Amino acid sequence: MNILENAVECIKTQGKNYKKYSNEWNVMQQLIDIITAQPESAEIVLQDLNVEEMQMPSLSLQRFISMNCKHSLINLLTALRKFVKQIRRKVKSSSRLHKTS
């Protein structure tokens, strides 16, 4: 199994209790779509998913509500966008390191 497949499997395993088409499930599917479209991000996502605070259940809607965020898909998508930006920054810095090596 390659890194992309491992990352997708890890996301699906961590989100296995999400109700299909719920906000959490949709965000999980979007993350899968992102790493499938940008396979170079799969390794970083996989590393992050091994950190408890970054695991799918930790990113659930309940966490956003407890952080006084409104219960809306817009807030979830905004958080996902920030997460994707973090991944892109890591990928860019990782790419720069590999080029200089």
HSE at residue 98, side-chain half, CA atoms within 13 A, is 7
pLDDT tens-digit readout, 57-98: 666 545 544 444 444 566 677 778 888 888 888 888 777 666
Closest CA to 59 of 81, 42, 34: 81
SS3 (DSSP) at 81 = helix
- DSSP states of 30-45: HHHHHHHHSGGGHHHH
Question: Please, what's the largest Cα pairwise distance for the chain?
Answer: 45
pLDDT tens-digit readout, 17-65: 888 988 888 888 988 998 898 888 888 888 888 877 667 766 654 554 4
Based on DSSP, count helices (H) and strands (E) in the chain, helices before strands.
5, 0
